Amino acid sequence: MARLLFLAWVLLFGACERTLERDVIVDNLIYGIDTIPVYSTSAEKDKLKTTTQFVSTAYSQLYLRPIPSGTLNDLALLRSSHGDKNLIGELVISHFLADNAVLATLPSDAEMNTDPEAFVELTYLRFFLRLPTAYERYALSRQIVSDPETTVVEVYRAFLLSNEYLYY
Amino acid sequence: MKRRDFLRNSSMASASLFTAPFLLPSGRVFARSGSRLVNHVVFVLFAGGIRNQESVDQGYLSTQGAGSSGNILPNMLSGAVPGGSLVHSPWAPALSTPLSQQGTLFRNLRYASGPTGHYNGHTVAMTGNYTDTGLNLNLNPDFPTVFEYYRKHSDPMPNARSCWWLSTELGPYPSLNFSRHPEYGALYGANYLMPGYGLGEAAVQYLGSLQTLHPEEANRVQGIKAQLDGFFNQGPGQVTGVKNSDEDTRSIQQLYLDLLSGADTLDLPLPDGVPSYFLTGDGANIATGWKILDRFQPELVVINTTNSDICHDNFSEYLSALHKADYAVGWLWNKIQQHPVLANDTLLICMPEHGRNLEPNGLVDANGLRAFDHTSDENSRDVFALIAGPSSVVAQGRVVGTPLSPVGESIDIVPTIAHALGFLDAIPPGMLPGRVLNEAWT
């Protein structure tokens, strides 16, 4: 009994006393290279990305390297040339997601379906730079499992087109 | 029948007459939002800074003491072409009857207030309010644009695909498809396209081999996106610009991909036998505008031309650019009149955003012709406007205004469009200081 009480005390208070310290490198945040959670909740995101930030983060999070300046300039101008940013954004993202260099960085559909919750967690980290809440993890996992036709590319596309992805 | 019943029935019948949807000759059904003169308006901002001396005055080289006078806008205006000493390559007109004979010419119309800058001039023409706001690359205008008035005050509210703004350049121009007015904004904005880049070489490189998503794939993506959005407490804001419906998004993407992949091509506003490398940026913009008109039949389109701004340092090229832009406008009108939906149901309005100075700036081109800036002198406030349309709506061949007695102002185009498309009365009082150019109507 005493051991159980001690264990309960450790779990209850020991965890609370633990202090995590982390250096956040701003460039890594902007370009989304880190796979550690930068945000604890989505509510911390209250600033809209500029066109340059949107294109560069999408590129770096898919290609896992910073965007070349020429490509960034081309795609920023392309986005500026259209009034419906979502409409042209979908096409730019389709271009990224059709590139073999990006496809090589993606988990397979089989991996996603084998452990959807782990896939959801990694996808949240990759694009939203935070961990999903328990309900977010459950809901998206359920959606993936409920439709076996769902692909990794489709999930990635949805993240990149989401409202949260427009903010940092 | 009792008198009370008669009155009730007759008033209901009258009400239904005004509110029930009706069938257009094109087979399209829509509900009336107000009395319309036409169902389509194309506003060509014949921009770049055009002096009346070279347009409606038809001075050609005579104002420089370097040659003959003559009309270099034979598609828009009546008048004999220059007799000699040509510094441009004349193209045979696209129209057998100039637009001034198919409508009303406001020969002298005032840009009455504010700097005569390109962005200011565009803003004035598209918002119906004068502005002193200088160039700012990231700011939408203070006052609502004509697109926002059109969408917010038409009933039912038209989709974004019903109105388009096409510009020859980027810079501040993409911001003119909606304002930052708190009561309007992106929700009521127009689709915007800068074809030179949006459908140019880079677009072909990045997007030319893409295909639109299969509907089932698109549905799955939308389902996941909707779930993600449901967990996030903020909307997309104005950063995403104008928002098309899912169906319209697919159709617009399909148009872009058709053009980028070569599955569809632009008709070019060039005379027979003239090679495509003679196509100007103005011509490409108007050609793209026509493609959009042809495919979607939008109700309100604003297209600009700006190549004539080369007048800052090359007067000969300015004349040439004017001549080619005029051809493109005539070509566009021909296309419209051959279209089953747009023909005889479209108003075409042309107006420069402002003029240019009376005095030259000191630069001389290879032909010895002096160049002109636009620095808000009185001459740069003198422009023209041309309104062409069906003879049942627009007075044909009428000319109003003189240099000493101008008629109309730049701010009058927006209320005139609002009147033609039947939503003027729904715009709150005080928003538009201009007036309808009623002199144009039959």
- Residues B410-423, mean pLDDT to the nearest whole number: 98
Q: What is the DSSP string of B283-295?
A: HHHHHHHHHHHHH
Query: Residue A93 is encoded by which pair of tokens?
Result: 């993202």
Q: Helix A85-97 and helix A152-161: axis angle, to 10°?
A: 150
| CA–CA gap between residue B246 and residue B183 (Å, rounded) | 24
Mutation for testing the B interface, residue in A49, A87, A153 having most B CBs under 10 Å: A87
| CA–CA gap between residue B423 and residue B417 (Å, rounded) | 9
pLDDT in tens, B83-125: 888 999 999 999 999 999 999 999 999 999 999 999 999 999 9
| CA–CA gap between residue A72 and residue A56 (Å, rounded) | 7
Q: Domain spans of chain B?
A: 36-193+281-440, 195-225+248-265
ipTM over 0.90: no
> What is the architecture, at CATH level 2, of domain B36-193+281-440?
3-Layer(aba) Sandwich (3.40)
| CA–CA gap between residue B268 and residue B328 (Å, rounded) | 9
- Report the pLDDT value the prediction gives residue B215, as an integer from 0 to 100: 87
Q: Domain spans of chain A?
A: 26-166
| CA–CA gap between residue B224 and residue B218 (Å, rounded) | 10
The closest alpha carbon to B164, from B142, B133, B195, belongs to B195
B196: nearest CA partner in chain A:
A81
pLDDT in tens, A90-129: 899 999 999 999 999 999 999 999 999 999 999 999 999 9
Which chain B residues are closer than 8 Å to A78 by Cβ? 197-198, 202-203, 206-207
- Residues B385-393, mean pLDDT to the nearest whole number: 98
CA distances from A159 to A38, B12, B14, B207 (A): 17, 52, 53, 20
Q: Give the one of A81, A92, A149 whose C-beta lies nearest to B220's C-beta.
A: A149
Q: How confident is the model at residue B234 (pLDDT cuts 50, 70, 90)?
A: confident
| CA–CA gap between residue B297 and residue B25 (Å, rounded) | 14
Does any CB of chain B come closer than 8 Å to the CB of residue A133? yes
Residue B432: pLDDT over 80:
yes
The DSSP symbol for B192 reads E
Q: Is the separation of the CB atoms in A77 and A85 below 8 Å?
A: no
Q: In terms of DSSP H, where are the helices of B231-346?
A: 246-261, 281-296, 315-337
Q: What is the DSSP string of B39-61?
A: SEEEEEEE-S---TTTTTT--TT
| CA–CA gap between residue B182 and residue B172 (Å, rounded) | 20
Mutation for testing the B interface, residue in A52, A75, A82, A135 having most B CBs under 10 Å: A82
Would you tell me how many other CB atoms lie within 10 Å of the CB of residue B246? 11
| CA–CA gap between residue B193 and residue B351 (Å, rounded) | 20
> What pTM, to 2 d.p., does this model score?
0.86
Q: How confident is the model at residue B139 (pLDDT cuts 50, 70, 90)?
A: confident
